[in-house]
Structure 1
Amino acid sequence: MAHTEQMAPARDILRTYGIHIVLAALIGVTAILSPAFLSGNNISNMLLQAAPLGIVVIGQVLVILVRGLDLSVASVMATAAVVATTFSGQDSDAFPVFVVAMLIGLATGLVNGLLITKRNVSPFLVTLATMTLLQGMRFAYTQGAPSGNVPPIYRVLGSQTFYGVPYNLMILVVLATVFSVLLHKTTYGRQVYLTGGNPVMARLVGIHADRITIASYVISGGLAALAGLIYSGFVGIVDNWVGRGFELDSIVAAVMGGVALSGGRGTILGGLFGAAILVVVFNAVLMLGMPIEFQIIIKGIVIIAAAAIYVRRA
């Protein structure tokens, strides 16, 4: 009994700070094996890569908190990126590009939310369907080969820095702060947690659970569209697969960060730490000179680990 009581504080520390410890350990080990890992250029590059994923993770966290998931985010990103090259490619078109991309993202989220809440369709099937639908529409529109230039402002936001700090990271910090405050300091946030934690109780106390769920999917779609515009500026070229893999990466990041797939538990900050771990792992593969295929293998290992962590917590 005494031994168990002595172990309890250690378990509490691991439960609370486990993801921070893992991230610190990954950075430390990689830095020892490859000193260039902590160079200013590499850190800036990792932050540039992490920001679009982090923006998507924020929306994914909101969706998972209400017992859902969103597989359409990567397809929304790619569609937004294609939209970014549809106009003349001048800064004068930056605002129309933003409006059209956001409308696509918000509409996709609205369709997802309505089908899930009003037709009781599985979130997996609904978002898989909208993902496929957007892919088909995108390929039909571009004939499989999108062309055009991204407005310069998106290149600046996606790939440039201000005194070493990436602009897209600034956007991520602002969004993370806004939505964290929204979750923890407002009525909407309390309703999100109650809707995900106990939908029946939420309805009994007068919460419009369907509206909360729909709002979460709409926000997720909008954030995915924004991430697509920023990511298109980062990669510099646009194809039909911009953001490919972000749907799984965002879910894995959220779960590693302590967001429960059963809903009602987790934080945006935790999800962002999970995203940071993924970015560090993928970057470490390159810095250590491993074949790029190892990223896929490691991603599979990370998914298995995330599933194990989730089962353990549950």
Structure 2
Amino acid sequence: MRALSLDVVRRYGIVVFFVALVAVSGLVSPAFLHGDNVINMLVQFAPLGIVVTGQVFVILVGGLDLSVASVMATAAVIATGFDGTNASAPEIFAVTLLVCACTGVVNGVLVTQRQVSPFLATFATAVVLEGLRFAYTQGAPSGNVPPLFHEMGTGFVRGVPVNVVMLGVCAVLFGIVLHRSTFGRRVFMTGGNTESARLVGVNPDRVRIACYVISSMLAGLAGLVLSGYVGIVDNWVGRGFELDSIVAAVMGGVALSGGRGSLLGGLTGAAILVIVFNIVLLVGMPVQAQTIVKGLIIVVASACYVVRRRR
């Protein structure tokens, strides 16, 4: 019976904690459960959730992707690099996906073929993208986001934010890929034991490269969504998402060593981050307190990860 209880806590503890956090937040601040505030949290959660979806794939194969924030900002700059009309939307999507795919391939090749640590490889890619972005914009980006992207970032479908609908589609699609497909099984095998995966015919390098491509492309999509929400071009769109996405995944039970975790856990961790940041502001604490809270969450998440790994 005790073993069963521990297994339930290990599997669903993060969901139980999420429900408890919502209940406590509602008691601490009545405004927390107000419709407008809930919508606001959902709008903030959507781009982070999209990035976390890709980050989960990378962490499951034993990697990290620190380039996601820079990819998001690059996508935002691309979104304003055309004529600002909906007619240019296909070109924006095509160029963004191409740049993101190339970024993912570079990250994957550096990690698998050149044996560069994921931290250094993705950090270097982020710096290179930042340099290219600033060279292109001359440090002062300008341009308009097409109305379609405004709709993606701020629009509603039957009372539900469009970006939340997009997150839902991504979560269902990549959840099926991760947990119900042959590729998903290869992801877990690669992260769990690379040599064993190779012995049964899996090419770990290809799986890792594919996961980095997925992460970069989802980060690009999140950057387009966030640029539509902000409404103006910004060289720093998505700043901080690299750490937030990793912390959310680890909080949700995705093992940094790879091979263990779930997409639902990662998305639940992202939702917890959004709720914590929101309640900090609702109780009247300064915006700077978010940084302090984020640091504390990182410490707690790291401690929980160490405990889980020892067990």
Task: With the length of structure 1 as denominator, give the TM-score of the two structures.
Answer: 0.96
2:54 to 59, 62, 67: 59
1:34-55 residue CA offsets vs partner (Å, 9 max, x unmatched): 1111111111111111010000
Residue 11 of structure 1: how far off its partner (Å): 2.9
1:179 to 166, 174, 181: 174
One-letter code aligned to 1:190? R
Distance in 2 between residues matched to 1:239 and 1:189, nearest whole Å: 35
1:53-93 residue CA offsets vs partner (Å, 9 max, x unmatched): 00000110000011001000000000000111111111111
Residue 174 of structure 1: how far off its partner (Å): 0.8
Report what 1:219 is aligned to. Answer: 214
> What is the Cα-based RMSD across aligned positions, in Å?
1.1
Distance in 2 between residues matched to 1:147 and 1:184, nearest whole Å: 42
Task: With the length of structure 2 as denominator, give the TM-score of the two structures.
Answer: 0.97
Runs of 4+ in 1 over 6 A off after TM superposition: none
Report what 2:202 is aligned to. Answer: 207
**8 Å contact 1:72–1:130 — kept in the other structure?**
yes
Distance in 2 between residues matched to 1:254 and 1:106, nearest whole Å: 22
1:110 to 101, 105, 108: 105
Residue 33 of structure 1: how far off its partner (Å): 1.8
Report what 1:96 is aligned to. Answer: 91
Report what 1:302 is aligned to. Answer: 297
Residue 10 of structure 1: how far off its partner (Å): 4.0
Gaps of 5+ in 1: none
Identity of aligned residues (%): 61
Gaps of 5+ in 2: none
2:133 to 127, 138, 142: 138
Structure 1 residue 163 corresponds to structure 2 residue 158: yes
Report what 1:257 is aligned to. Answer: 252
Distance in 1 between residues matched to 2:285 and 2:68, nearest whole Å: 29
- Secondary structure (helix, strand or coil) at the match of 2:65 reads coil
Distance in 2 between residues matched to 1:140 and 1:39, nearest whole Å: 44
Distance in 2 between residues matched to 1:16 and 1:214, nearest whole Å: 28
Residue 9 of structure 1: how far off its partner (Å): 4.4
Residue 139 of structure 1: how far off its partner (Å): 0.9
One-letter code aligned to 2:98? L
Structure 1 segment 219-258 matched on structure 2, within 5 A: 219-258=214-253
One-letter code aligned to 1:265? R
Count of residue pairs brought into register by the alignment: 309
